[in-house]
Structure 1
């Protein structure tokens, strides 16, 4: 399976001729929306959900109730999923984890529902949360920036998930200097960290 990172939190997975998109949002390149056999959306914030461009795709969407409410015209192509569910999306085996977006400010409480996705027991995307999967993964996608981000819980999250490698996501607010600084906190010999640039790919075994 090939993983390609795009701007911010968007990831494309290719397997056996099928394309799975995760969190194609407002920062995502137009090329992201050229082909998709299925789409996963972790939550309703626009940096993860570009409503108009997702509507233009002829693909099923698996997501939260909040996102589904914005895609009602797609009818039965939209599937609401929740923590603990396992399902198939275009030939990819998916498990859903968690229910809450990380808190941005205490007085605002939980902003919205957020569900993380584990694809093929190999790639885990937590959306805007540090929710952990209940099993070992090959590639753990680690948020490294954002209004809700804090470094200590991010490092704790990365250390607590048994993974072969880490890939940084949710990084559009960081300068190249900031991205390089974050790498030092996540990278180690047993579990290397990859700060992929948009359009860069790696293989997931």
Structure 2
């Protein structure tokens, strides 16, 4: 399976001639959308869901109830999922984890619903949360920036998931210098590296 990273939180997975797009938001390059067979959206914020571009496609979408409410005009193209669900999207096996977006400010509480996706029991995308999967994964996508981000829980999360490789996402607020600093903290031990993947670059998921 091939994983291509796009700006901020979007990744594109390719397997057996099929393309699964996760969190195509308003920072996502147009090329990411080309040939997408299915889309997963973790939550409704614009940096994870570009409503207008998604509406312009003829592609099925899986997301939570909050984000689905923004896509109501698409009717049967949108499937609502929740924590504990499992389904197949364009030939990719997907499991759903979590319920809540991370808290940005305590006085605002939980800003919206958020679900994470484990794809092919190999790649885990948590959206804007540190909700953990319940099994080992090959590639863990870890948020490394944003208004809700804090380093200690990110490090705790990365260590607990203990994936074969860790990739940083949600990096748009960070400079290149800041992104490079994250390797110092999130790099695993031995053969469990933190991989700084620039937009448009790809890694293999075995």
Mind listing any 5+ residue stretches in structure 2 that lack a counterpart?
A: none
Output one character per residue of 1:70-104: Cα deviation in whole Å (capped at 9) or x when no partner.
11111101000000000000000000000000000
Q: Is the 8 A contact 1:102 1:128 kept in 2?
A: yes
Output one character per residue of 1:96-130: Cα deviation in whole Å (capped at 9) or x when no partner.
00000000000000000000000000000000000
> Residues of 1 paired with 2:34 and 2:2: CA distance?
17
Which residue in 2 is equivalent to 1:198? 199
| SS of alignment partner, residue 70 of structure 1 | helix
> Residues of 1 paired with 2:162 and 2:57: CA distance?
34
Output one character per residue of 1:142-183: Cα deviation in whole Å (capped at 9) or x when no partner.
000000000000000000013110000000010011011111
> 1:191 Cα deviation (Å)?
1.1
Q: Is the 8 A contact 1:86 1:95 kept in 2?
A: yes
CA RMSD, aligned part only?
0.6
Aligned length: 205
> 1:65 Cα deviation (Å)?
0.7
Give the TM-score, by structure 2 length.
0.98
> Residues of 2 paired with 1:85 and 1:65: CA distance?
13
Which residue in 2 is equivalent to 1:8? 8
Superposition map of 1:154-169 within 5 A: 154-169=154-169
| SS of alignment partner, residue 164 of structure 2 | strand
> Residues of 1 paired with 2:73 and 2:32: CA distance?
22
Which residue in 2 is equivalent to 1:136? 136
Which residue in 1 is equivalent to 2:95? 95
Give the TM-score, by structure 1 length.
0.99
Mind listing any 5+ residue stretches in structure 1 that lack a counterpart?
A: none
> 1:32 Cα deviation (Å)?
1.3
> Residues of 2 paired with 1:50 and 1:171: CA distance?
17
